[in-house]
Amino acid sequence: MSLAKPIQTNERAAILDVLRGFAIFGIFIMNLYAFSFGWAMSPEQKAALTLARFDGTTMFIQHMFFEGKFYSLFSMLFGIGFSIYLAKTDLDKNILGLFKRRLLILLGIGFLHLLLWTGDIVAFYAMLGFVLIPFRKFSNKTLLIIAACFILSPILWYSLKFWKPEIFDLSRWLYKSGEYLEAKAGYHSLNEVIKDLSGDNIFKMIKLNLIGIFWRYGDLVFQSRAFKVLGMFLIGLVIGRTQLYNKLKENKKLLWKIAAAGLVIGLPANYILASLNEIHSEEVFSMHGLKETIAYAFGVAPLALGYAAAISLLYLSPAQKIFNLLAPVGRMALTNYITHTLIGLFVFTKLGLDVTNWGPAACSIFAVAVFLLQIMLSTAWLKYFNYGPLEWIWRMLTYGHRLPILKTEIRD
């Protein structure tokens, strides 16, 4: 029996790589503010930042058009990828075993990434990937109903936490664990934590990031992120089953409907979400928080789907050449995503440049510049190599044999 192999270059659907590249860009825009420690700055510090007069507008735009939309889009693409794996079952009965091994390796990569930055999403995706497996037995209609319930469920969960936080707020146990471990490690204020996270001692950073995992996952539980991600996983699974991405021309009417519905529903809801984000509430659970949760539930997923449909429609136009520039970044999505963290550490900590005066506006300009560079580097890399560096390692560990990395290597 021939060895199992990953999808070959000529088997890839270019539109999926384009969407991955687009998603990676949006995720980087949102993550840079976290890399810069802007979330920990006082109002006085924020007022003194470079381009500070544009930061308020930039944050509003990010909340309206970026927040949540790009990880949602990436989650949908993850679900499509799962469907592509399942399609191989006709050729390899052990494909689920390979998929589980792929997830375990991804979990390991995610954990290593967490040691550098607690904002990692890779490990979270890997864990939820195991939850996705049983859903392969459901019909498309059932999957879409469950997906809608998952995406809207944070409204219910927030309401329950608002009503009885001592029972339904599970995140508090993770937060308390983070507080306890920080105190045990000798940290008693946020300033002390930030000092070592942005310092030049990599070992102190790793120690704090290990503790920070409790804060990160407490935040993910607080946001009901698992339900949001799983909902998009399931939508992606349905899209993959129907191979909509391979039949764009035949489904133009459907794509127009998705794009229109996504924009009509998503834009007003996200305008409300962005407006609510400008109002700061000190209460953990409040009516303000419930309104944000409702706006998020009705705004984020529809707009993410609207983005995907709109780009797919544009991909059928002469603009395809422009969008194809994103494909190399998408083919190396894992490598480019992890590279963002290395760039963040180099720019915003004492391990590198120690930039401390960039706010959302300056970070966004920098993100565009970095992404343009990644387009050029990814394109150049893929002229000579079959995979990105991390994608190559991930695939070899998954399939258990060496894969040709150079395009000049003879393939089996």
Based on the number of CB atoms within 10 Å of its own CB, is 102 exposed (0-12), middle (13-18) or buried (19 or more)? buried
Rounded to 5 degrees, what are φ and ψ at 50?
Answer: -60, 135
pLDDT digit string, tens, across residues 307-365 = 999 999 999 999 999 999 999 999 999 999 999 999 999 999 999 999 999 999 999 99
Structural contact between residues 323 and 311, judged by C-beta atoms closer than 8 angstroms: yes
| Single-letter amino acid code for the residue at 298 | F
Distance CA 352, CA 346 (A): 4
> Among the residues of 133-247, which ranges form H helices?
140-163, 165-168, 171-184, 190-197, 202-222, 225-242
Structural contact between residues 24 and 333, judged by C-beta atoms closer than 8 angstroms: yes
pLDDT tier for residue 93 given thresholds of 50, 70 and 90: low
Q: What share of the chain is helix, strand, coil (3-state, %, to 5)?
A: 75, 0, 20
pLDDT at 3 over 50: no
**377 vs 14, 21, 239, 347, 367, CA distance in Å?**
18, 13, 30, 19, 15
Residue with more model confidence, 224 or 39: 224
Structural contact between residues 278 and 60, judged by C-beta atoms closer than 8 angstroms: yes
pLDDT at 375 over 50: yes
Distance CA 298, CA 293 (A): 9
- What's the pLDDT at 86? 84
Distance CA 383, CA 385 (A): 6
Average pLDDT over residues 392-398: 96
The helix or strand, by DSSP H or E, that contains position 105, with its residue range, turns out to be: helix 95-116
Structural contact between residues 352 and 362, judged by C-beta atoms closer than 8 angstroms: no
DSSP 8-state secondary structure symbol assigned to residue 63: I
pLDDT digit string, tens, across residues 6-17 = 665 555 799 999
Distance CA 141, CA 149 (A): 13
The helix or strand, by DSSP H or E, that contains position 321, with its residue range, turns out to be: helix 320-323
| Single-letter amino acid code for the residue at 201 | N
- What's the pLDDT at 4? 54
- What's the pLDDT at 10? 54
**349 vs 19, 71, 134, 262, 356, CA distance in Å?**
31, 25, 43, 39, 8
CA 128 to chain centre: 13
- What's the pLDDT at 6? 60
End-to-end CA distance of the chain: 13
- What's the pLDDT at 412? 42
pTM: 0.94
Nearest-CA neighbor of 62 among 18, 25, 16, 36? 25
pLDDT at 84 over 70: yes
Structural contact between residues 156 and 146, judged by C-beta atoms closer than 8 angstroms: no
Structural contact between residues 388 and 331, judged by C-beta atoms closer than 8 angstroms: yes
pLDDT at 71 over 90: yes
Stated length of the chain: 412
